[in-house]
Structure 1
């Protein structure tokens, strides 16, 4: 399966530590070698890096690992191709504009017999089911809410409804952000960890690297990290129940909390990363 990584914070934060472990899963500690990408929101702009080769071997990935870009919202993806050739245009995350803001989307899964009717406003450039799903989601948001974004609860409810409908075609784990919130939908496998005071030491599962966050943060910092598989082996990660959509803002699940998209347990389950 593809690998997803997201970060949402209350102050601009770099993702170098988490990305170091995540990058290794693209051909070193896992077999996903079909491309990778990462998007950083910076104000209303987005820095997007894409490479259709294994992240473990990518010079672009090495640049990102060493370059402390600070952002409130980050989405990264390591690809295991199921639909679409291994080409740059099929590499996640994907980017589009809606309501005067950039939206970023990355998907893990495989959608079968999925051919939604698109209005033409948002068109896939590549040949993946993932990009088609992204265009469909934005098409529906524009159709239902017009030229202005809806209140956050209405947006969350609409995304949950769309995730349910699209998810009937197969596995549909995804990360989506407009720079204000980071939405995470769990179809089969997704987990998150919340880092806030009192901060402690974190050790990567895929690399022998540790960081004492108490030395590089302030007591007011809050960071949420979302991943397909926990990135550290000494923190308590929370597994999202299948069929739920979560919204993160300012480094924690926001006031919308977690909205079921299908029947699911009422709360996330704490797990020890391994």
Structure 2
């Protein structure tokens, strides 16, 4: 399976601590070695770093370790390929423009029965050969066809819930999606989150013997939500998503939650990655 990592905050924050443990899963503590990517929103802009090398070995990943970038929304992905060759074009997160905003999307799952024509729309078409990018294009195409401009967060959440239910019929569909303001996370099988806020304490990584004291770099009003396929620390309490649950995060906390039931059982039974 691939693994996902997301961060949504109320103040610009660096993801260096979480990413340090996360990238160990790309060949050191796990086998997600077929490429990685990480995207940072900065106001209307977006920095996107991709590499087909394993995140545990990539020089680009080491840059992130030594050059912390502060952002309100971050999405990262480490890949274990099942559909699509190992290549830069198949690395997540994928980026597109919609309503004058950048959108980032990363997927963990396997949509084996996705129709080839789905995702090849008028505005959005895949560049690579993954069903993940195909699903992303379909999702954006459906949203753009219904709205000429950005709808309210409540309407967007409702629309996304409906589209997610449709795509989840074709297999495992864990994903994280963001436009730099909101972050949406959907769980088919495995996804957990934690909200760090005052009083801040120390955290210890699961994948590396590293401890960090967040009280040394935060203020009492800071709030940070971290979302991951599997918990990244072993001394904090993570909240596991329910199956088929969609959550929207704003300013470092979950604000909308709803299940996205689909009309037939998932084609896939394991949490493998399609990317």
Shorter-chain TM range is over 0.9
Aligned position for 1:258: 257
CA distance in 2, matches of 1:120, 1:129: 18
Aligned position for 2:109: 109
**Per-residue deviation, residues 96-128 of structure 1 (Å, max 9, x unmatched):** 000000000000000012121632210100000
CA distance in 2, matches of 1:180, 1:42: 10
Q: Is 1:232 aligned to residue 237 of structure 2?
A: no
Question: Any conservation in 1 of the 2:120–2:126 contact (CA below 8 Å)?
Answer: no
Aligned length: 260
Q: Is 1:165 aligned to residue 174 of structure 2?
A: no
Q: Is 1:25 aligned to residue 12 of structure 2?
A: no
CA distance in 1, matches of 2:53, 2:29: 15
Q: Which has the higher contact order (CA 8 A, sep 6+)?
A: 2
Aligned position for 2:122: 120
Aligned position for 1:148: 149
Q: How does 1:1-274 map to 2 (within 5 A)?
A: 1-115=1-115, 116=118, 118-145=120-147, 147-254=148-255, 257-262=256-261
Give the Å deviation of 1:216: 1.0
Give the Å deviation of 1:214: 0.9
**Per-residue deviation, residues 136-169 of structure 1 (Å, max 9, x unmatched):** 0000000111x20111111001111111110111
How well do the aligned residues superpose, as a CA RMSD in angstroms? 0.9
CA distance in 2, matches of 1:117, 1:162: 12
CA distance in 2, matches of 1:66, 1:230: 23
Q: What secondary structure does 1:109 align onto? A: strand
CA distance in 1, matches of 2:99, 2:50: 24
Aligned position for 2:269: none
